[in-house]
Structure formats: structure tokens, C-alpha cells
Amino acid sequence: MFKKYISFIRGVSVNKLGLTGVVLTTSAFVTFIILELTRVLGFITNAYVGLVNYMLFPALFVIGLIMIPIAWRKRKRETGKSTEQLLQEQFEKRETEGSFLGSRIFRTIAIFTLINILFLSVLSSRMLHFMDEPHFCGTACHTVMNPEWVTYQASPHARVKCVECHVGEGVDALVNAKLNGLWQIISLTFNLYEQPIPTPVYQLRPARETCEKCHWPDKFYGQRIKRIVDYEYDSLSTPRYTTLSLKIDVGEADVRRGIHWHIAEENEIRYASLEDEREEMIWVDVRQPDGSFKRYKNTELVSEHESEFEDFRILDCVDCHNRATHIYEQPEKALNERIRKGLIDRSVPFIKKAALGAILPIYNDTASAREQIANHVRGFYQREYPGIFRQKFAEIDSTIAVLQSIYARNIHPYMNIRWNSYPGHIGHRGTGGCFRCHNPNMIDEEGESIPDDCTMCHSIAAYGGNTPYQYLEPVDTSSQDYIIHQYLKNEFLESAAEAKNNQEQ
Ligand code: HEC
Ligand code: HEC
Ligand code: HEC
Ligand code: HEC
Ligand code: HEC
């Protein structure tokens, strides 16, 4: 068998060009198989190796194959012989006996061609599959995608493939994505991409196709208790508690409605925003039971911009959950979270104050960030509290490591990503998030605004209090916030009871 192969190879290589073609194809094939085996067996996981293996070797393989017929044509032209004569010259007699189609050599060529086609089709499907892997998307263009890769790995979607949210289904979407990918390679090569990558992402797959595959709107989400601890900047880093019960449930028509009311089957909300940025709303339309739309207009913007109709958008999951996967933290919240988990030791006096001072500045690059964060924290204690510095040396050191990792997750100097480069829409800070629409400037024809009462979206059991359930505790009638205390307590209990009723129904 092997001998036959060698004599075939020798026969095919009519001249130097042909020989080069054969050597190229064979060695590309063998190298590909070896590399692929090491990848499949997990010896190599580097995305670049995969990239080379799926781009370079198949390309060499095909180039080699193409060189063989070219070599034959060249030879024919040089010698003036016919294909048949050449075949007889190159191969043994018993190979070329009979008519061409009936000859052994024809069968051999047919088998090799079949193997090549099979190999190439398996290869291209493996290649598409490989390029769909988050590991490829996240690491092939390392510096550019690093922020998304890092935040993705820390998210609840770390097991969901990038393409599940970013590439649609069907051939159209695939071609689109590959064209887009080609553009990305070009812009990467010539440094044409923007830093940071701009949002919103307009080519995202429609949320109804993606998110709803795993989270469907009718699924009962009920209420969700959210406990937030804020530590103060005093010597004890004193904890302050905020506890909300988020009313996520879709709710029922005509009864009380919850946060996911926006995405219930029978509802539709559309809006137009300044420059289609989804930040400042010009108007918001809500579908009414009779199918007509009721419009709320932003009194601050509408007179100038109401004519901007073309770019209206139907609200979906991503209008609120724009940071469902690439979750960036705010500096104070990142610290609160690490202290709460015990990663930063609150027994070190003024630790939150020292930590915030260290991570707030934007340093030039990752290496100097690591160094200066360490210098800042050590410097702070050496200067102000040398006693503590000696006594809590180990705790201070482990805090520094935690701060460096917070920084590495959230700040990406190369891509110009700083604190708050990508704001999330899920809550409300200032006029952002829910308050883009839920604010007194958004009014309908009767002058009614989209509601924004504090207990509409969440019951409040504590708000910067000393205990996590401050408002559920008994209160003295003489206390100055007696009324608000009683109100929040009743509201919390009533709405919890109602949610429980709904669940049991
Ligand atoms: C669960 C869905 C989901 C998954 C999985 C996902 N993304 Fe995203 N991605 C989003 C959403 C939503 C946005 C933000 C859209 C917006 O703000 O308009 C986004 C935005 C981005 C952006 C724009 C910059 C930014 O941070 O907003 C890039 C680049 C990106 N994703 C790359 C990736 C890569 C690479 C992976 C895999 C490692 C991935 N995504 C996985 C949903 C997802
Ligand atoms: C392939 C399945 C899948 C897809 C697609 C998907 N998710 Fe998820 N999602 C999950 C899983 C799994 C979790 C984690 C559940 C857990 O930790 O209990 C999750 C968690 C979440 C959470 C809760 C996070 C938390 O704080 O607990 C939100 C919000 C969310 N997803 C929104 C989205 C949005 C928005 C999209 C579309 C852009 C999306 N998901 C697409 C599977 C998916
Ligand atoms: C109007 C804003 C808004 C829209 C639109 C929206 N959500 Fe949510 N969603 C929220 C809020 C607010 C929460 C609670 C926040 C939290 O848990 O941190 C939430 C919570 C969730 C959770 C976590 C539930 C739990 O029990 O922890 C999932 C999953 C989720 N949403 C998925 C979706 C999907 C899928 C869509 C689109 C079909 C969607 N959301 C549309 C605002 C929205
Ligand atoms: C694009 C605009 C828009 C955004 C953004 C938005 N909402 Fe709404 N929301 C509306 C409109 C419009 C209504 C219905 C007002 C009406 O009754 O006509 C509504 C209704 C609601 C309701 C039901 C109120 C009721 O009357 O029972 C809740 C709860 C709610 N939103 C919570 C949220 C939360 C939480 C967020 C942020 C995570 C949010 N919304 C973001 C436009 C928006
Ligand atoms: C349109 C719905 C809505 C309204 C109205 C609303 N909130 Fe919120 N609020 C939210 C959502 C959603 C979150 C975010 C929960 C999360 O982070 O998952 C939030 C978060 C908060 C937080 C916690 C912030 C943090 O530290 O993370 C506080 C405190 C708060 N709200 C107070 C208020 C007060 C006070 C009012 C009245 C002025 C109010 N909210 C009105 C929806 C609303």
C-alpha cells in the first residue's frame, strides 16, 4: 500500500513544481493532523495555534493541490506530449492499461480526490465550529476582545457561547457574521476600530431569539430580595444596609404590574432616542388593549426632535439588561462586594478608604497599575498609620492582590475602558437606567407622566440602615420617621403577600 502510494506520488510529480505541490499538500496534511490531535487531546489550548491550524495548513494544502495540475499543463506545453503519453511515461504499464476511464490510475486519482474533498469538508465544518467557540472569539484578537472576555468569564453567562447572543441562526446570519469578521480582521490590521468599541451594538441578534431561548417571559420570576451592603469610609468601614424586594414578575393585566410587564406577550413599548443611542428618550409609545399606541413625550426634547421617527426601537431585554454578560463594576460597589465576601479584611482600619484611593486613578498600563496600587496602599498606611502597617502587614498585602484583580477586570487602558465607560441600565443612577423613561418629564396628552414612585418597582425594607431589615423592625411612635417607617413596612408585607398568592394560584 505504502509502496503504491510512493510510486503514485512519484508519478504525479512531473517536474519540480509538481513535486513542490505534492510535498506541500502532504506535509500540510500531516502537520494538520498532528496539531489537531494535540488540540483535541487538550495538550494545546492556545487560540492562536488553532487559528494557524485552521487557516494556514488548509491554505497550504489547497495551494499544493492546485500546483499539481498546473505542473502537468506546464510539462505538456514544454514537451508537446498529450496527457495520455505523459501518463504512460510517468506510471507503470499496468496502471495505465485499458481506456483512461477504466484504468487503475483513474481509480487511484478518483479515490484521492474523494479523500481530499472529504477532508476539506470536514475541515471547514471543524473550522466554523472552532470559530464559534468563546475561547476563539475571546482570545484570538487578544487586546481588543480582552475586556469582553474577562467580564464574560465572571458573568452568569460564562457557559453561553458568544455566538448564541451575537450571531443569528441560518445561512444569512452566518454569511453576515463572517463578512463582519472579515471586516474586523481588516480593521484590526490597520487599527481602524474604535476604542472602546461603541455601544449599543446594533447587529445583536434580536433578544426574542436569543435570551428567550433560555429565559422565557411567561416564566414566573416573582419577587427577588436584593441585599446591598455599603461600607462607609470611616475607620471601621461601618456597614450600611439597603434591602429591596424587586417586583420582577410580569404581573397580570389590570392588576398590579411588575418589572417584566414590558415584555409580556400582549405588550409592546417603542421609543425614539437621541441619535439612536438609547440614552435620552424623545418619546415612548405604549400599546393599548385596543391596539392603538399611547405616546409619552419628553417635554425637554420633543419640540425639537419629534420628527425623528425613523429610528424608533421596540423595547426588549437588552434595553434593560445591556450588561447581562459584559458586567463592569463601579469602584465603590466592587469594594463593597469584596469586603462582604471577606476577601478584603474589614478589621484593618480605614481599609475601604485606602482601597478606593488606590483603584480610582487611571494608570498608564497594566504593569504600572499593579505597582502603583501596591505603592498607594502601603504608602497610605506607612505615612498615616505606621502601627497598623506593622501589625496588619499580611492583611494589607492580600488586600493589594484583590485590588489588582478588581482593576484588571474593569480597567483596560489599551481599549480606553475606564470606570463607567459602559454604563448598565438595570437600576437608576442619576437620570439613567429605568429613569430614562420613568421620570416626570415624560408626559402623555393628559399631562400624566410615566410613574416613578419609589415602591412601584421594589419594596424597600432598608435604605442605608444599621440593620438589613430596618423598616420591618418595630418603631417608636415618637420617632421622626415613624410615618415613612410604617408605610414601607406595610407596603413590603402587602406586596410580599400578594406575590405569594400569585405563586400559589
Ligand atoms: C448572554 C448573551 C451574550 C453573550 C454570551 C456574549 N455577549 Fe457580547 N454582548 C451582549 C450584549 C447584550 C451586549 C451589549 C449590547 C449593547 O450595549 O448594545 C454585548 C456587547 C459586546 C461587545 C461590545 C462592547 C461591549 O462590551 O458592550 C463585544 C465586543 C462583545 N459583546 C463580544 C463578546 C464576546 C467576545 C463574547 C464571548 C466571549 C460575548 N460577547 C458573549 C450579549 C452577550
Ligand atoms: C444558552 C442559554 C442562555 C441564553 C441564550 C441567555 N441566558 Fe441568561 N442565564 C442563563 C443561565 C444558565 C443563567 C444563570 C442562572 C443562575 O445562575 O441561576 C442566566 C442568568 C441570567 C440573569 C440573572 C443574573 C443574576 O443576577 O442572577 C439575567 C438577568 C439574564 N440571564 C439575562 C439574559 C439576557 C438579557 C440574555 C440575552 C441577551 C440571556 N440572559 C441569554 C442562560 C442563558
Ligand atoms: C424594563 C426593564 C427590563 C426588561 C425589558 C427585561 N428585564 Fe429582566 N429584569 C429586570 C430587572 C430590573 C430585574 C431584576 C434585577 C436584578 O435581579 O438584579 C430583572 C431580572 C431578570 C432575571 C433574573 C430573575 C431572577 O429571578 O433572578 C432574568 C433571567 C431576566 N430578567 C431576563 C430577562 C429577559 C430574558 C428579558 C427579555 C425577554 C428581560 N429580562 C427583559 C428588568 C428588565
Ligand atoms: C423605554 C422606556 C422605559 C424604560 C427604559 C423602562 N420602562 Fe418601565 N414602563 C415604561 C412605560 C411606558 C410603562 C407603562 C406606563 C403606563 O402605564 O402607561 C412602564 C411600566 C412599568 C411598570 C408597571 C407600572 C404599573 O403601572 O404597574 C414597572 C414596574 C416598570 N415599568 C419598571 C421599570 C424598571 C424597573 C425599569 C428599569 C430596569 C424600567 N421600567 C424601564 C417605559 C419604560
Ligand atoms: C422604574 C422602577 C424604579 C423606580 C421608580 C425606583 N427604583 Fe430604585 N431601583 C430599581 C431597580 C431596577 C434597581 C436596581 C436593582 C439592581 O441593582 O439589581 C433599583 C435600585 C435602587 C437602590 C439600590 C441602589 C444600589 O446601591 O445599588 C436604591 C437605594 C433605590 N433603588 C431607591 C429608590 C428610591 C428612593 C426611589 C424613589 C425615588 C426608587 N428607587 C425608584 C427600580 C426603580
Chain segment 190-241, per-residue pLDDT in tens: 666 778 888 888 878 788 788 888 887 666 678 899 999 999 999 999 999 9
Distance linking the first and last C-alpha atoms of the chain: 74
Where does a domain end: 109, 132, 155? 132
Q: Does residue 209 lie in a domain region?
A: no
Q: Does residue 213 lie in a domain region?
A: no
Three-state secondary structure of 57-99: HHHHHHHHHHHHHHHHHHHHHHHCCCHHHHHHHHCCHHHHCCC
Binding-site residues, ligand 4, Cβ < 6 A: 257-259, 261-262, 269, 271, 281, 284, 286, 296, 315, 319-320, 426, 433-434, 436-438, 450-451, 456-457
- H or E segment to which residue 443 belongs: strand 442-443
Which residue minimizes the CA distance to atom 21 of ligand 4?
259
Report whether residue 462 contacts ligand 2, using a CB cutoff of 6 Å: no
> Which set of grid coordinates corresponds to residue 23?
510535498
Q: Does residue 217 lie in a domain region?
A: no
**75 Cβ contact list (under 8 Å, min separation 6):** 14, 15, 18, 81, 86
Q: At what angle do helices 104-132 and 47-79 cross, to 10 degrees?
A: 150
**Residue among 165, 184, 412, 414 to mutate when testing ligand 1 (max atoms within 8 A of CB):** 165
Cα of 336 to ligand 2 centre, how many Å?
A: 24
Report whether residue 138 contacts ligand 1, using a CB cutoff of 6 Å: yes
Judge whether residue 434 has pLDDT over 70: yes
Do 152 and 110 have their domain in common?
A: no
Predicted confidence at residue 275, as pLDDT, reads 86
The two beta strands, 293-298 and 269-273, are: unpaired
Report yes or no: 143 and 414 within 8 Å, Cβ to Cβ. yes
pLDDT tens digits, 230-280? 999 999 999 999 999 999 987 665 555 789 888 888 889 999 998 888 999
Range of the domain at 455: 223-324+425-504
| Mean of all residue pLDDT scores within the chain | 87
Give the dihedral of Cα atoms 331, 335, 337, 341; nearest 10 deg: 160
Report whether residue 286 contacts ligand 1, using a CB cutoff of 6 Å: no
pLDDT tens digits, 81-98? 888 888 888 888 888 777
- In the chain, how many domains are there? 4
Which ligand 4 atom is the nearest neighbour of the CA of 444?
18
Q: Does residue 218 lie in a domain region?
A: no
Do 443 and 303 have their domain in common?
A: yes
Q: pLDDT-based confidence at 380, cuts 50/70/90?
A: very high
Give percent of the chain with pLDDT exceeding 70: 90
3-class state of residue 403 by DSSP: helix
Report whether residue 458 contacts ligand 5, using a CB cutoff of 6 Å: yes
**390 Cβ contact list (under 8 Å, min separation 6):** none
> Which set of grid coordinates corresponds to residue 22?
505534492
Three-state secondary structure of 265-282: CCCCEEEEEHHHCCCCEE
Do 228 and 194 have their domain in common?
A: no
Measured CA angle at 265 (ends 273, 297), to 5 deg: 25
**Residue among 164, 214, 248 to mutate when testing ligand 3 (max atoms within 8 A of CB):** 248
pLDDT tens digits, 135-168? 877 777 767 888 888 999 999 999 898 888 887 6
Q: Does residue 189 lie in a domain region?
A: yes
Which residue minimizes the CA distance to atom 37 of ligand 2?
211
Do 377 and 253 have their domain in common?
A: no
Do 294 and 438 have their domain in common?
A: yes
- H or E segment to which residue 226 belongs: strand 223-231
Where does a domain end: 106, 132, 158? 132
Report whether residue 215 contacts ligand 3, using a CB cutoff of 6 Å: yes
Cα of 419 to ligand 5 centre, how many Å?
A: 21
Predicted confidence at residue 133, as pLDDT, reads 81
Do 95 and 78 have their domain in common?
A: yes
Report yes or no: 235 and 349 within 8 Å, Cβ to Cβ. yes
- Cell 393585566 locates to 253
Q: State the average pLDDT over residues 489-504.
A: 83
Do 24 and 127 have their domain in common?
A: yes
Do 229 and 290 have their domain in common?
A: yes
Q: Does residue 85 lie in a domain region?
A: yes
Do 470 and 495 have their domain in common?
A: yes
Do 23 and 91 have their domain in common?
A: yes
Which residue minimizes the CA distance to atom 2 of ligand 1?
165
**192 Cβ contact list (under 8 Å, min separation 6):** 186
Q: Distance between CA atoms of 82 and 75, rounded to whole angstroms?
A: 10
Q: Which ligand is nearest to the CA of 149?
A: 1
Lowest-pLDDT range, 153-162, 249-258, 299-308, 478-487? 249-258
Give percent of the chain with pLDDT exceeding 90: 50
Q: Distance between CA atoms of 88 and 410, rounded to whole angstroms?
A: 70
Q: pLDDT-based confidence at 182, cuts 50/70/90?
A: low
Report whether residue 242 contacts ligand 5, using a CB cutoff of 6 Å: yes
Q: Does residue 110 lie in a domain region?
A: yes
Is the model more confident about 403 or about 38?
A: 403
